[in-house]
Structure 1
């Protein structure tokens, strides 16, 4: 049975002294006082019930037993450190790879800036980026297949298990082909588009939810001629004159063939672009760096 006086922390102190042969230098390296180092070594001897050192002036001279024990202590500490590293990597904590999920609509400016900033903070980090709908990304985060996600929310996150870091607010607008009858309007009344045809994203996307919310405010269900699975196809279809849609302002620069026109205030719909991660992992150094970068990004948007 291992005596309770024998701890990994004391083994680390012992190994530092065996390497440096000085109480003062070992204390400096470990960030402790010389008294604490001496006390740890004496306590280790008591736990082993074997003397490891003899006193020589103010220092301690290792006995043969100390050299023999140092080999085993080194293996014990190294194996423990290796085990901790592997367990953390399996749990995604401070591993060499971070799996981030995001929306397609954030890939023009937001996500590239976040990832560049994150790489400056943690150059050794490998990043996997997964794009999908809100629904898909939330499910992957919940199942542990993603470490963090950046998505749009229509209402504040109320899941106590998740930490939310807001980045910026985005306004949903009418997406129209260039030269449409609504071009140049300062604000569009959705009730005036009752006879128009619309294209929207399929279910699970925050922009699809915003679309439904705006038309509930308008009091009617629009004629939806097509539902698509990605925002790029939707933008191209609108630009080609197939119909209208409602899209967030962040996609304005994705195409020069569409115009985004503000909606009248009563039909307004907003999305809060937000980083979400599990509260159980909020002290993970990689996720701390990502959260810090998101807060910096949010500050620059104001």
Structure 2
């Protein structure tokens, strides 16, 4: 039975000492104190239950038994290192591939800009993109079918023990009307004035669905929903065609500003989505995930002082030293 005092960390310190033959140089190499090195060697010796060193003046010299242990310790350490590498490979960690899930609406600006920055950091990275609802993406992340997701976390329960959440920006929700709508107003829109109008909506599970339901609950009436769809672009097309009104996040404004008019909601109905990058805590040291998180942080810093997603098609800050040159 192997004694509890024999650990891989102590073997690492022991092998470093066997190479340097000096406690001070070993401590400097490993970023430890000399006391920590001496304690590790002493407790390792106790765990082996065999003398490994002898004091010669102020120096600690290895005995033949230490040379024998070092030979096997190197074999064990190398084997474990290869075992960890193969384990990570089997788990898809650090293999140059990322599966990223995103809401449809983020493919207009956020996702392309993150991908562009990510490819500058890791040119050989293969990225698989999957689009879906908030609910579907979170389920796939929990089932490890996705490595990271871009979703609205405003009305989503994220388990902090399992997942890291990196907020990117906040986005206001607007009332969307066909360009020819006679009910368009330049000031805040009161949903009660649209009680007799038709609406289109996303299905349950999408980020805007919960806010849609809550807004009309506050307004005190059930909207007349003529159809429900499974993606935001189909919903906007229906609004463009005059099928009905809907609620939309402000990030859609730039693309549809000539065919769909967005009205600011009156105070009782105002809502904001917090868009965030969510990924498993056990992936936080994966080099590919670190690169994605770094891009996410840059994006978040650029948008920290604005309430909605960018509408001018600007580029990420190319002068940042956080990203390597291409």
Cα 1:33/1:264, change in 2 over 3 Å: closer
The residue that corresponds to 2:150 in the other structure is 150
| 1:258 is the counterpart of 2:269 | no
> TM-score, length-normalised on structure 2?
0.73
Superposed CA offset, 1:92-119 (max 9, x none): 8888655443211122233344556667
The residue that corresponds to 1:173 in the other structure is 174
- The answer to whether the Cα contact below 8 Å between 2:169 and 2:300 also exists between their aligned partners in 1 is no
Cα 1:206/1:22, change in 2 over 3 Å: same
Superposed CA offset, 1:152-184 (max 9, x none): 245485866566554433222122232322345
| 1:16 is the counterpart of 2:21 | no
Between stretches 267-276 and 220-229, larger displacement belongs to 267-276
Indicate which of 273, 276, 289 corresponds to 2:275. Answer: 273
Cα 1:50/1:96, change in 2 over 3 Å: farther
Superposed CA offset, 1:47-101 (max 9, x none): 4344445666655555554443323101212333444555567778888655443
Between stretches 165-174 and 242-251, larger displacement belongs to 165-174
Q: Distance in 2 between matches of 1:272 and 1:123?
A: 29
Between stretches 84-93 and 67-76, larger displacement belongs to 84-93
Between stretches 109-118 and 255-264, larger displacement belongs to 109-118
- The answer to whether the Cα contact below 8 Å between 1:182 and 1:188 also exists between their aligned partners in 2 is no
Unaligned runs of 5+ in 1: none
Q: CA RMSD, aligned part only?
A: 3.8
SS of residue matched to 2:24: helix
SS of residue matched to 1:71: helix
The residue that corresponds to 2:249 in the other structure is 248
- 1:51-130 aligned at under 5 Å gives the runs 51-53=51-53, 59=59, 62-84=62-84, 99-114=99-114, 128-130=128-130
Unaligned runs of 5+ in 2: 308-326
- The answer to whether the Cα contact below 8 Å between 2:155 and 2:210 also exists between their aligned partners in 1 is no
